[in-house]
Amino acid sequence: MNYHAIRAIYIFEMARTRRTLLQSIVSPVLSTSLYFIVFGSAIGSHMGDINDVSYGAFIVPGLIMLGLLTQSIANASFGIYFPRFVGTIYELLSAPLSAVEIVIGYVGAAATKSVILGLITLATAALFVDLRIDHPFWMLGFLVLTSVTFSLFGFVIGIWADSFEKLQMVPLLVITPLTFLGGSFYSIDMLPPFWRTVTLFNPVVYLVSCFRWSFYGISDVSVGLSLAMTFLFLALCLGAVVWIFKTGYRMKS
């Protein structure tokens, strides 16, 4: 294992975050603060508790998950797409690096940035609502697991995309709507039976539900099922990455 190369990729990607601090950290935190002001204060003040949890506190796990998914995908996809765009991908591929080392460097950096952003969002939420975390170990573990999984997904998107428009298409047109419809701002138990059944086909439901359980001990679906779905998606992403490096799909084009 070439740890020096992994460290070089990791440090380079983390340094890009410091150079774009306003876009990478400040902008997502401000957006999250606006969500808390609008949904948590303005709307939440007119809503009752959900499962003995105030509405403002109830939406915190969903908002963290929204930022986590979008930022994991965005960081990882841009990280590998930009070398392809400027042509430096050839230097990377000709270096004494294995596919595993390349993926660890890029995905590790993207996941680290997402976890940091998630913790900053959590700290920001604590300024607006009273929070409790019943299972802090599981909360942190699921935060890392989700970040790694969707950073891998972002890596795949970065290889697949052949334009900046495609790079932004999946987070904006797929992930964000699925997160909003995945129980981030409500419990799916509040839906009519038909729509509740339809919602269960949304994979984000399982992510939000398990993450909310780590906070308040409540979930819309089984925690075991949520973890199983997350590991299944992780396995699919790993399979896609293996296939990409075996076939060279769009790595040199």
Convert the pLDDT of each residue in 7-26 to its tens digit. Answer: 988 998 888 777 766 666 77
Give the angle subtended at the CA of 48 by the CAs of 207 and 204, to the nearest 5°.
10
Is the pLDDT reported for residue 170 higher than 90? no
Alpha-carbon span 189 to 92, nearest angstrom: 49
First to last CA, the chain: 27
pLDDT digits (tens, 9 = 90+) for 54-108: 888 888 898 899 888 988 998 899 889 988 888 888 888 788 888 889 899 999 9
Residue with tokens 């990377």: 92
Full-model pTM: 0.90
C-beta atoms surrounding 82 within 10 Å: 15
